Structure 1
């Protein structure tokens, strides 16, 4: 078995697409701002975030169920410099729900939401102390 992607089902595809592309700076495999599907990747590593229009998926399945309340997903992105990423994303319009701070002694994290309230955790891994 091979995991190929994690896909977020979104209601406002263009807004969420622009957030991941323009605010977080992920690179689309192909331009698809109007949807119904896109896959976006960071500059490094094989990981990717896929977006799928919720209405289209409901049509494929015949139903999808009610919109869930609260957070529906947690996307985790590793950054080299959390403070720099925090400042850059704020300048691009991101609003953080938690500013950069420690998470134990091994990493620092900050949290923000995408336009559909999916939670995003930015991680900066710290050098371990000897």
Structure 2
């Protein structure tokens, strides 16, 4: 078994699409700003984050119509130069809610929210994990 992606259910698909593409600078596999689905990859393309229009999935499952309250997901992106990346994304409109700051002796992090309220963690490993 292989993990294919982590998919976020979002109510404002175009806004979230532009956030992941334009602010975080992830690469969409194909242009689909109006949805209902898109998958993004970071440099190297190994893992992906996907967006799914919440209303469409609600029709498929017969539930999920209401926006959830509180955090239900955390997208984690590994960044080589956290401070520089945070400067770039804040210049493109991102608002950091925390950091950059140390999380452990081995890692620094920053946190922000996407337009749907999903929490995004940016990680910079100071020591390569084993």
1:37 matched to 2:37: yes
TM-superposed CA distance for 1:26, in Å, is 0.4
- Give runs of aligned pairs for residues 1-130 of structure 1, distance below 5 A: 1-127=1-127
Q: CA RMSD in A?
A: 1.1
Q: Tell me which stretches of 4 or more aligned residues in structure 1 moved more than 3 Å.
A: none
Taking a change above 3 Å as real, the CA distance of residues 44 and 100 of structure 1, as seen in their structure-2 partners, is same
TM-superposed CA distance for 1:65, in Å, is 4.9
Q: Does the Cα contact within 8 Å between 2:101 and 2:110 map onto a contact in 1?
A: yes
TM norm structure 2? 0.94
Unaligned stretches of 5+ residues in structure 1: none
Unaligned stretches of 5+ residues in structure 2: none
Deviation digits for residues 79-107 of structure 1 (CA, Å, limit 9, x no counterpart): 00010011001000000000200011001
Range with bigger deviation, 61-70 or 76-85: 61-70
Distance 1:11 1:39 in 2: 16
TM-superposed CA distance for 1:2, in Å, is 2.0
Distance 2:62 2:105 in 1: 47
TM-superposed CA distance for 1:63, in Å, is 2.0
Taking a change above 3 Å as real, the CA distance of residues 92 and 16 of structure 1, as seen in their structure-2 partners, is same
TM-superposed CA distance for 1:62, in Å, is 1.9
In the comparison of the two structures, how many residue pairs are matched? 128
